[in-house]
Amino acid sequence: MHRNPWDPAKSCFNEYEVHSLKPSQLSSEVSTYQVRPNFFSLTIEDLKAIFEGQGKEQFRSQQVFKWVYEKRTTDPEKMSNLSKSFRAELRNLFDFSLPPVATHLKSIDGTQKFLFDMGQGMTVEAVLIPSDGRLTLCISSEIGCNMACRFCFTGKQKLKRRLQTGEIVGQFMQVHDRLGPDERISNIVFMGMGEPLDNPEAVFKSIEILHSTWGMNVSKKRVTVSTSGIVPEMWRIAASKVRLAVSLNGPDDAIRTQVMPINKRWPLAQLLSACKEYTRATRDKVTFEYVLLKGVTDQIEHARKLYKLTRDVPCKINIIPFNEHPGTGFERPDDSQVALFHKELMNLGAHVLLRRTMGRDIFAACGQLTSAYEEHPKMMDISNSTLGGLRVTDSRGGQLSL
């Protein structure tokens, strides 16, 4: 059982057994240490321990981290402030490989989608989203997904395996290495393929690596972990001091269970209690993601229920018009209905943002990511909606937030 750092007498999380992963389900990251560990799976503390075991000074870990992450040098021979003998040893100590980019697509709106080859015929996608001077990278944590959300393309795949830490960090590094000299990934969102809290060890270890001062130095305030609602693992998000996004997608238990089977196990009362605890622990707001499905979640009465459901939780609500994909039984609402839903929430006083649809033409928008397979489409006609081209402000006059 994972340790819950909050006071058991006050924590809602101690009411449930913490979700644990069966050994057979885990990616065998530990087994790689029997050969050579992938460098991008290691924190700086891991590296210190390895060097100490080799009889090396601990400060060498900082030197090597700086070469690999800041200077982007993985060839030990070029690490000039290390001795020749140490450079020779490094080549045999670590595997510096990154997951190869199999496909790189660019949208008409500037969004970029990367398909990564994870071996054995398995692939995942990550998306780079430009917005108002920022570059947000949407990262995947699993190949497939166990949550089976009915509106999500990834949800149509059963979980094939969980990604290892180096495969998650590797997505960031591969995209980083393709940026121009004046470009930088400013924000990370774990909203790609898979449920991050179904692979918590690798997800939060990857965050620590990317956050390291000696690594990429990504601020945790610019990292968001999204969950469909694995309540017993949500404490990890607060403990890691990153932001929380919750895929809500239903104004009541009946509708949410219809579109998100996880609601049967952890219904809205438990989920919202965990969200309140997050806000108490972090003094940060929760972002609720709400997908508008035509005739299912997009009616004015749903907007009113959504407001009542969330008004006691410090939050903002991102409303997302459904993004189509093959085989779905749902439809995207008309732009006029989306506008009415948005306006109703604003009139009620909610802090609400209408998510600008990005990358829809290359199947890179929210809910459209999946592994490559024979029938996987690469492009789509987006002429049925003008929302993708709008710049939308929130109900309080702020800029659109991804």
Q: How far apart are CA 4 and CA 13, in angstroms?
A: 8
Q: How far apart are CA 28 and CA 45, in angstroms?
A: 20
Helical H segments across 107-245, by residue range? 165-176, 200-211, 235-239
* CA neighbor of 13 nearest in space, from 231, 280, 239, 264: 231
Q: Maximum CA pair distance of the chain?
A: 70
Its sign, for the CA torsion 74, 125, 355, 290, is negative
* CA neighbor of 366 nearest in space, from 149, 198, 95: 149
* CA neighbor of 128 nearest in space, from 138, 140, 143, 120: 138
Write out the catalytic residue numbers.
125, 366
Question: Helix (H, G, I), strand (E, B), or coil: what is residue 210?
Answer: helix
360: Cβ–Cβ under 8 A, 6 or more apart, which residues?
Answer: 107, 323, 368, 380, 382, 388
134: Cβ–Cβ under 8 A, 6 or more apart, which residues?
Answer: 186, 187, 402
Q: How far apart are CA 321 and CA 394, in angstroms?
A: 15
Q: How far apart are CA 177 and CA 357, in angstroms?
A: 26
Buried b (16+ CB within 10 A) or exposed e, 224-242: bbbbbbbbbbbbbbbbbeb
Main-chain phi, psi angles of 92, to 5 degrees: -90, -15
Question: Helix (H, G, I), strand (E, B), or coil: what is residue 289?
Answer: strand
- Cβ proximity of 47 and 40 under 8 Å: no
Question: How far from the centroid of its chain's Cα atoms is residue 30's Cα?
Answer: 23
